[in-house]
Amino acid sequence: MKTKTSANLDDVFFPRNVAIIGASPGVAYPLALLGGKLRDRLFMVNPNSTEVFGRKSYASILDIAEPVDYVILTLPAKYAVQAVRECVQKGVKAIHSFTSGFSETGLKEGIEMEKELVSIVKGKARLIGPNCMGIYCPKSGLSFNPASTHEEGHIGVISQSGTFAQFFIHAGRSRNVKISKIVSYGNAADLDCPDFLEYLADDSDTRVIALYIEGIKDGRRLKSALEYAGSKKPVIALKGGVTGQGGRVASSHTGALAGAGETWATMFRQAEVVQVDDFDDLLNAAVALNDSPLPAGKGVSIITYSGGFSVVQTDMCVKAGLDIPQFSAKAVEELRKFVPVSGTMVGNPLDAWQLFYKYEEKDGTLKDVLRIIAGEKDVHSIILQFDVIRFMLNMWGDKFEEYFAAVAEKVLQGCHYARESGKLVIVSMFLDPFAENEIERKYNLLFKKRLESEGFPVYPTLNDAVRTVASIYKYTEMRRKKLLQTG
Amino acid sequence: MKTKTSANLDDVFFPRNVAIIGASPGVAYPLALLGGKLRDRLFMVNPNSTEVFGRKSYASILDIAEPVDYVILTLPAKYAVQAVRECVQKGVKAIHSFTSGFSETGLKEGIEMEKELVSIVKGKARLIGPNCMGIYCPKSGLSFNPASTHEEGHIGVISQSGTFAQFFIHAGRSRNVKISKIVSYGNAADLDCPDFLEYLADDSDTRVIALYIEGIKDGRRLKSALEYAGSKKPVIALKGGVTGQGGRVASSHTGALAGAGETWATMFRQAEVVQVDDFDDLLNAAVALNDSPLPAGKGVSIITYSGGFSVVQTDMCVKAGLDIPQFSAKAVEELRKFVPVSGTMVGNPLDAWQLFYKYEEKDGTLKDVLRIIAGEKDVHSIILQFDVIRFMLNMWGDKFEEYFAAVAEKVLQGCHYARESGKLVIVSMFLDPFAENEIERKYNLLFKKRLESEGFPVYPTLNDAVRTVASIYKYTEMRRKKLLQTG
């Protein structure tokens, strides 16, 4: 039985009200919070204003009559110590310092000030940061970005980098990333990564945890928290600073010692945490783990319109530790009944561009392809490369909406069938971010949202899809081995 | 001295006129050619029509009074043999068969038909394909895609995959890919990859060659052609089917034996050809090699607004064989004069988000950052991560256009200065393809085009930028070693 050591953080994530010290239209927090559930329990504090966004602005937190649970500091660093003293005096339970200029500067003055903040709050309040974005929690209303959807979901994020925390917020709109909680924890002067890991491990609203970490003060404590979280739910981790040079940069970013890449890899493996190499992989894996079935093995089938992609992506899969198994004779025979001979490959990957344009037929459509492939016992995940809307627009002209609606239905029926057969189904949909084709973009986004609303992850490139399947397979494989060991 | 063996292919790339056999509004070729220089020297052949796009349609090529240099076959495979016989009778010099259904099917009938095509043209005409997109040559007017810009450039492309050839066409509009010639050569029944390699090696309009290849019939001939081309200009190659499973798929795609990955890697290395792993890398490297200075070493500096990206991308650079050197004490001292202490890292990478928003100051802007970093002798390439337009729009509101114009000028001046100092300068500009923010997209694309028009490559992600610098460094390193060997 894994154990945890941290305090309950409900007071941190679910304050009854919030004050922003240093509130002004120039910082993101007032708008971020006005968009969520705390909008009517929000106090602005700024001695240089009388109001901010139409709300009364107090000169000091001590001027607020009501009790205050949670404070966001956005004032210059030199005023932070005094502000934190006043927060403690006021009885605030949690203080988040967006304000930077502390230990991360590497300067003696900043390091001393950070120590002072910690000694002031000790035993009285919890401190988040300094030098971080803080908390996003749609269920309570906390947020750090006006672009937040405030939609409640099941992906938990813990990030030592503020930028990556922001990217998860933006992905809430564009990548179907539905969040339970995001924590950007910066210098971790008080609350640190292990505290948040253990809290999210026990949080019933969180199904999967995405972690970005650069370094840690207490390695044993992190190891224990990772093992606790890893035993409870899927955890995906991106470790920044795995190379010597990256470690040097990490230590000047958050002041933490990055340590050797191999040590971290071992720690993650032992905790059944999937380590990824890249931010996109972290985000993509979290989306797929949120509500897709786990594949029972490493067999992948790719359904595509391109021989070139078939070849290159098979290489990608193999390099990523996956397998592109050959289809059974029976499946090949069934497929040959309706896949044209010319310009196609009846095998795995299945390259049959003509089928993407079949809207009329009752039989022999992509639906049947998905059904037949879902029946293959060596195939555990299916990737459908659906980049063809631009060609359909050219080919079908005025008839596009009618014909495409028919194709879309068949594809969705096939995807549902495959998922009900226990397969992980992922769609890749390429849209060049630099291409100026708004009509193409519009129809792609409509179909993407439809797929997502029915629970299928959609990624912008085939590489994203392959790498995500690889991450998830890695997770299932670690679970399987662990169960065998403990079995 | 490298030698070549192939015939001159000017007759193939520069026909005086073209006939499309099987012309109809449903195939891409009539529109593709009507958009270019051959529009008035174009014959439609289709016994089932009287006209195609308002042009007279002939029942047979033999009915055309004028001589015909080049024919595109888009009719069903079963009519191809007869059509090719008529072409030879007519004195056609080059026949491109888009028509598929030959050796790539793996069926006896298709293999036999392909042999017959070859025996008919032998000594009389050259055959491109079958089962391929054919040729795009803006200078002559040949094309296979109505989306072609027909703009003349200096990137040559040879692709065994039709899809990848098409992607280069689309990238003509979105990725500043200016083409001299593209060849999609498919089954290579007659003209094969080595023929095109040697032709593009000697082509004064082609500065860089991008190659996608799956397999080859005559390995010695390919080796010799690669060495010839590699001695003349930069060649970037993506080999499809480097893994066992990928090789199996490749052989069913184009019928060619893929061979062992290591054998190919050795051949590329010996020919000074840079091998990449992915289609995006192929395209991106071609763009940068087209008109950027070659970096003199592996030192990279990244200018960013994010500590998280600083750390992760340093790891990426190191893993890709690059180096993120520390700045000299002098550069750090100069930078410290204007980079704020709080929330930044004065080092390499340089993480200083505030500087991206400096529009007014005469000193201490991104222009000065670029100037100072360009002065560092250990820095050979500079990557500027410019993803900040969305934040500027929020921050500046009505003043955005005015302030951004000032920032843009400073950035451009700095980029020019760095390039004049001999540095490879690349901009990464992230635009989420699935994000619905047309205003953000508009301003990003405007700035992207400005940067490109002044000769700076722009990539959609920082990973693209890092991987491209790695490809180009690999090329310069191979050249350097070769020059040392040959003294």
In a domain, A139, yes or no: yes
pLDDT band at B1 (very low <50, low <70, confident <90, very high): very low
Per-residue pLDDT tens digits for A66-117: 999 999 999 999 999 999 999 999 999 999 999 999 998 888 999 999 999 9
Rounded to whole angstroms, the Cα distance separating A48 from B189 reads: 79
User: In this structure, how many other beta carbons lie within 10 angstroms of the beta carbon of residue B335?
Assistant: 21
* Terminal alpha carbon distance of chain B: 14
In a domain, A361, yes or no: yes
pLDDT higher than 70, residue B258? no
Hey, what's the torsion of the CAs at B227, B231, B237, B239, to 10 degrees? 10
**Residue among A162, A434, A448 minimizing CB distance to B175:** A434
pLDDT of A258 = 59
In A, minimum Cα distance to B315 occurs at A246
Q: What percent of chain A has pLDDT above 70? A: 97
Q: Among B232, B256, B289, which residue terminates a domain?
A: B289
Asked whether residue A95 falls in the same domain as residue A203, the answer is: yes
CA distance, residue B12 to nearest chain A CA (Å) = 24
In a domain, A474, yes or no: yes
Put simply, the chain B residues between 250 and 289 with a CB less than 8 A from any chain A CB are 250, 252-254, 277-280
Global pTM value: 0.95
pLDDT of A293 = 87
pLDDT band at A341 (very low <50, low <70, confident <90, very high): confident
Per-residue pLDDT tens digits for A457-486: 999 999 999 999 999 999 999 988 888 887
Asked whether residue B222 falls in the same domain as residue B298, the answer is: no
Asked whether residue B266 falls in the same domain as residue B313, the answer is: no
Q: Among A247, A270, A289, which residue terminates a domain?
A: A289
Residue A236: phi and psi, rounded to 5, are: -115, 135
Structural domain including A107 reads 10-289
- Cα–Cα distances (Å) from B452 to A201, A436, B294, B387, B425, in that order, read 47, 16, 17, 16, 11
Which residue of A315, A318, A353 to mutate against B (max B Cβ within 10 Å)? A315
Asked whether residue B220 falls in the same domain as residue B303, the answer is: no
In a domain, A91, yes or no: yes
Whether A310 sits inside 8 A of B164 (CB atoms) is no
CA distance, residue B167 to nearest chain A CA (Å) = 10
Q: Which range among A121-135, A211-225, B3-17, B253-267 shows the weakest confidence by mean pLDDT?
A: B253-267
Per-residue pLDDT tens digits for A227-279: 999 999 999 999 999 998 998 888 777 666 656 888 999 999 999 999 999 99
Rounded to whole angstroms, the Cα distance separating B15 from B37 reads: 11
Q: Does B242 touch chain A (CB under 8 A)?
A: yes
Whether A312 sits inside 8 A of B445 (CB atoms) is no
Q: Among A241, A265, A289, which residue terminates a domain?
A: A289
Asked whether residue B33 falls in the same domain as residue B129, the answer is: yes
Whether B435 sits inside 8 A of A77 (CB atoms) is no
Rounded to whole angstroms, the Cα distance separating A216 from A295 reads: 33
B145-148: long-range pairs with CB below 8 Å, 24+: B145/B28, B145/B32, B145/B169, B145/B170, B146/A394, B146/B28, B146/B31, B146/B32, B146/B35, B147/B172, B147/B173, B148/B32, B148/B35, B148/B36, B148/B172
Report the largest interatomic distance among the alpha carbons of chain B, rounded to a whole angstrom. 79
What single DSSP character describes residue B305? S
Q: Does A25 touch chain B (CB under 8 A)?
A: no
In a domain, A2, yes or no: no
Q: Does A397 touch chain B (CB under 8 A)?
A: no
Which residue of B148, B214, B315 to mutate against A (max A Cβ within 10 Å)? B315
In a domain, A26, yes or no: yes
How many structural domains comprise chain A? Answer: 2
Q: Does A463 touch chain B (CB under 8 A)?
A: yes
Q: Tell me, what's the ipTM?
A: 0.94
Asked whether residue B285 falls in the same domain as residue B298, the answer is: no
Rounded to whole angstroms, the Cα distance separating A84 from A343 reads: 70
Asked whether residue B356 falls in the same domain as residue B279, the answer is: no
Asked whether residue A301 falls in the same domain as residue A419, the answer is: yes
Asked whether residue A39 falls in the same domain as residue A187, the answer is: yes
Rounded to whole angstroms, the Cα distance separating A424 from A453 reads: 16
Rounded to whole angstroms, the Cα distance separating B130 from A165 reads: 51
Average pLDDT, chain A: 94
Q: Does B98 touch chain A (CB under 8 A)?
A: no
Asked whether residue B170 falls in the same domain as residue B196, the answer is: yes
In a domain, B2, yes or no: no
CA distance, residue B198 to nearest chain A CA (Å) = 23
Whether A460 sits inside 8 A of B434 (CB atoms) is yes
Interface size, chain A vs chain B, as Cβ–Cβ contacts under 8 Å: 211
CATH code: domain of residue B70: 3.40.50.261
Q: Does B162 touch chain A (CB under 8 A)?
A: yes
Dihedral over Cα of B241, B247, B252, B257: its sign: positive
Whether B343 sits inside 8 A of A104 (CB atoms) is yes
pLDDT band at B255 (very low <50, low <70, confident <90, very high): low
Is the bond leading into A138 cis (omega within 30 degrees of zero)? no
**Residue among A253, A312, A438 minimizing CB distance to B307:** A253
Asked whether residue A348 falls in the same domain as residue A424, the answer is: yes
CA distance, residue A66 to nearest chain B CA (Å) = 32
Per-residue pLDDT tens digits for B84-128: 999 999 999 999 999 999 998 888 999 999 999 999 999 999 999
Rounded to whole angstroms, the Cα distance separating A47 from A58 reads: 6
pLDDT higher than 70, residue A1? no
In a domain, B183, yes or no: yes
**Residue among B26, B308, B343 minimizing CB distance to A164:** B308
Asked whether residue B333 falls in the same domain as residue B259, the answer is: no
